[in-house]
Amino acid sequence: MNHKIHLTKGSIFSGLILLCLIIIGANSFQRIDKSPMDMAYFPNNFAHDRKGDEKPFIRVIYSRPSKNDRDIFGKLVPFDKVWRTGANESTEIKFYTDASINGQKIKAGTYSLFTIPGEKEWTIIFNNDLDYWGAFSYNEKNDFLRVTASSTQTNQINEEFTIQFGKNGGNKAVMKMSWDKTAVELPIEF
């Protein structure tokens, strides 16, 4: 049995349009960001271990930039300048209950978390402005609280910027930030 296919200019054109739409549709996603968003809770694993209506004490949402063979603090992230504390959007920290940091009170609420890295000490900034890209629109007038924390150098390189919480007894936490060979710890009491 011999079947002949009869193609017209219209059917060829329609086929090409369909093929173009398929190709365009397959590429409609933007490329994946190199600094993925992450989240840290205190207590750790809260999202996995949640019971009923209980709430965590604190949550941080941030993006994790990578070292990629770059010199980080003092170079890529300059000393003594406001930093977004991660990548992309400003890092966001939510306190579910009032807390105390270095003896200063911070009210329950959501803040942008900025830092000013120094060689031996960092300024940690809790700012009322939310939903900004980076630190480009940072406004010191909207700071709710500024505290300081010591910075230490480690022997181990941390490839991605990381924020984690450790338990410091009872309802006391320590927020740990690390990238490259730099580590900063900030005690928080609830």
Q: Is 114 contained in some domain?
A: yes
Q: Is 19 contained in some domain?
A: no
Number of domains in the chain: 1
Give percent of the chain above pLDDT 90. Answer: 66
Taking only the tens place, the pLDDT of each residue in 89-101 is 999 999 999 999 9
Domain that holds residue 89: 32-189
Q: Is 12 contained in some domain?
A: no
Q: Is 21 contained in some domain?
A: no
Taking only the tens place, the pLDDT of each residue in 145-162 is 999 999 999 999 999 999
Q: Is 2 contained in some domain?
A: no
Q: Is 50 contained in some domain?
A: yes
Which tokens hold the place of 43? 């207590």
Q: Is 66 contained in some domain?
A: yes
pTM of the model: 0.80
